[in-house]
Structure 1
């Protein structure tokens, strides 16, 4: 989108001229998302003054800090009307953060779904650039399923609801939003939980928009988090909806098992990650051993085994063999016979050749993941 198009777009959302000028001074890059002027109305994003944000966050006090990412810190705040917010404050030294800022600000106007986190507005004043989100009181999914003291709070019924919610959010991004969107950084720390533990996909700074007829894209800059990145994207820079499907499969196995994808296991002399462990158990005819021990007595065994089966189908090495999200949802909710999975990608930890760096960030309980070549 040219500057004139962006100016027109933001004017329609009632952003003031002063703030528009500041935004348009931001450096553009080849990876900045484009948004077509299709005449459709999106969110009416609110522009907050720096004074309002300062008051809401108690001048960005340490007590209100939720986390730190490569883009900068994230703070909890409370507006004068009592509404709680999460404020992503871009670091002045973060070039990556400026790109993410433009991505999220432009992209969010196209997204309206109960399983996507809501961007309320922004603050662009002087050198300050901030994004204001709805606050998620239960932070992110990883703070529950990987925490020994909290994992019991999410029983199997709730975990399955979370799996379904994430799948519905991805299906919306891939098929039902006004433009097709590839998230590119789906992971447990980017799934936020509201007061009722309902999941909301967050952090669209790495996302890419596809035109309706586009099937895949290619990039030299690999972004994401180790373990969640599909093989074709990691090795060749090729990404598509099937890249998100791969990430979803990894996340599904994490939710079922309570184990992190990066956690390595030594089995019969093999060093395996979670995907490899799930595959070995599947081949041995004992996939139920993957299930988080606290769930085994109370879960629906058939439902859990079905989720493991779907998870393995999602992490297949060849993108063509992976299901699309509409099929994933159908598989999760029906009793139809599923195709047998093939050996998944990156099932052996030693088979991962780390050639390129990848980075990612999250809002509310922020975490940064960086992959380095060995």
Structure 2
């Protein structure tokens, strides 16, 4: 599962990337490339066979697959930081996007999908999660005080929101806490004491968890949270309190310890920074979003905090509603690439 945020100081803007050192290419002068089926080596799923898509989404995605999307390399100043000679690198690349297959909806899908999208064989999803958290902490340590405050505020807004507001957008809001696995017995005993005093168990659990557990409300605690993969060797369990405008709705105590931290925009940006590559989340909306076919698929760019040293990779998300925030699921996209061939009458479907 994954979380995309629509209003965060740390999230990447929903705008196409443009090279600041050069004029943008004209759609009329961009050539299509020969991306015939014989050139596609990876095993992929055709868009007709991907579940959960409406016809308008399939038509738009099939067009992206048939014509491809164009990505331009960053300026030479950036590339020269990464490699000694970029003279052999093409000026632009066309990517033909295919669905890379389903991944398990176990909370680790951002990292599993990224592993497949990058074609990594020596690194598993758990390794990617660890590297993402480590990268975030290293970058956090170099931030100024003001920027750290902004990061903390964005994290708190996502995971420990102010329950006095936000009800015009969300019917249910969640508050995340971290309970040490070794503290489970003492937490249960404290909850039982309140129950014996006549308190309802959910209200007692809410009180104890809020008092004794760690709220995901700053960068350091976000790193503890994002390290949780739902495995027995996790240090913490995730506790989720759900609220409606009327008050406490439910307490998910996650007693089996299987809940994993969903990947969010902060994690995607840290993952992009770790690999020095842009990550595009390709989001497809259906009729629930009340959008027309031309606008039912869009690209959300997440850029490294420093240099860009390689081509982007792509993830797929079936959005829900107009925003797509919340528990959505990441799936891999396989990007088959080819350099731009000049003097063709064909055009790409999109310029990133």
TM-score (norm 1): 0.26
TM-score (norm 2): 0.27
Between 1 and 2, higher relative CO (CA 8 Å, sep ≥ 6) is seen in 2
Which entry has the higher C-alpha Rg, 1 or 2?
A: 2
